[in-house]
């Protein structure tokens, strides 16, 4: 559980295997909640928060229950239920305890239940990280680090994209390109730019 392992997992998940631009997960909030930077920041924070907690829970559930009892085939449905319940609990907790946090995250929490990036990372942790021989704590550490990097990568992209969209609103874009078409072109160019980071690790 060294710092190198942690840094590699973070950089790899954040820049190289970016969840939006490389894995094409979480496209719905990427396009839907990126019209304003403030909304993008709130959504990113909520995704990061839930992604880290859900990764820890789903990895533990798989390693300690599903694999142990020989029922890994129900992992997808179990993970969906875990994520949906977790979002409800997190919303409830924040509603009761912190009004400031609720103001910034509250409205985005229900959206996360249907965010496929959360489920994708939970499944990815099992497919790419988990092995029979890997010690539980080491796997959990890598899974949580990857989730942290993925959440940060999600935030980076959605914030950059929202800033570009705000700028585009004030630009002289031809009528046929206004709105979604120019946004998709921008997303494609961003994806190509991030492809250039593929060799840094």
Partner 1 sequence: MLVPILLIASLVSIYIGSYMLNKKIPVPNEFKDITTSESCKTCHNFSCAYKK
Structure tokens at 184: 């998709």
Report how far apart, in Å, the C-alpha atoms of 155 and of each of 9, 51, 69, 141, 159 are: 16, 12, 37, 21, 6
Give the residue with the Cβ less far from partner 1, 16 or 117: 117
Structure tokens at 82: 């875990």
Spatial distance between the Cα atoms of 141 and 175, rounded to a whole number of angstroms:
49
When binding is defined by CB under 8 A, the residue of 7, 76, 85, 136 that contacts partner 1 is 85
Note whether 82 binds partner 1 by CB under 8 A.
Answer: yes
Taking CB under 8 A as the rule, which mask of x and - marks residues 42-81 in contact with partner 1?
A: -x---------------------xx--x-x--x--xx--x
Convert 179-189 to b/e letters by CB count within 10 Å (16 or more is b): eeebbeebbee
| Segments of the chain assigned E as strands | none
Q: In the bound complex, what is the minimum distance in angstroms from residue 5's beta carbon to partner 1?
A: 31
When binding is defined by CB under 8 A, the residue of 7, 64, 88, 167 that contacts partner 1 is 88
Question: CA angle 15-20-22, nearest 5°?
Answer: 60
Give the residue with the Cβ less far from partner 1, 16 or 53: 53
For residues 107-126, which are near partner 1 according to CB under 8 A? 107-108, 110-111, 113-114
Binding residues for partner 1 (CB under 8 A): 28, 32-33, 35-36, 39, 43, 65-66, 69, 71, 74, 77-78, 81-82, 84-85, 88-89, 91-92, 95-96, 99, 102-103, 106-108, 110-111, 113-114
């Amino acid at each position: 559980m060294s710092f190198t392992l942690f840094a590699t997992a973070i950089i790899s998940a954040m820049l190289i295997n970016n969840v939006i631009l490389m894995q094409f997960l979480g496209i719905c909030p990427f396009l839907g909640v990126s019209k304003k930077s403030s909304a993008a920041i709130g959504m990113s924070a909520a995704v990061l928060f839930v992604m880290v907690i859900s990764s820890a829970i789903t990895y533990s559930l798989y390693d300690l229950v599903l694999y142990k009892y020989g029922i890994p085939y129900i992992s997808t449905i179990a993970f969906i239920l875990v994520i949906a319940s977790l979002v409800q609990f997190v919303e409830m907790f924040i509603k009761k305890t912190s009004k400031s946090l609720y103001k910034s995250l509250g409205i985005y929490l229900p959206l996360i239940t249907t965010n496929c990036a959360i489920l994708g990372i939970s499944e990815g942790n099992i497919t790419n990280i988990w092995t029979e021989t890997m010690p539980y704590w080491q796997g959990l550490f890598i899974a949580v680090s990857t989730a942290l990097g993925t959440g940060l990568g999600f935030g980076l992209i959605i914030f950059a994209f929202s800033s570009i969209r705000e700028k585009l609103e004030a630009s002289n874009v031809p009528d046929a390109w206004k709105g979604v078409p120019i946004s998709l072109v921008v997303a494609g160019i961003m994806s190509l730019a991030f492809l250039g980071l593929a060799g840094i690790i």
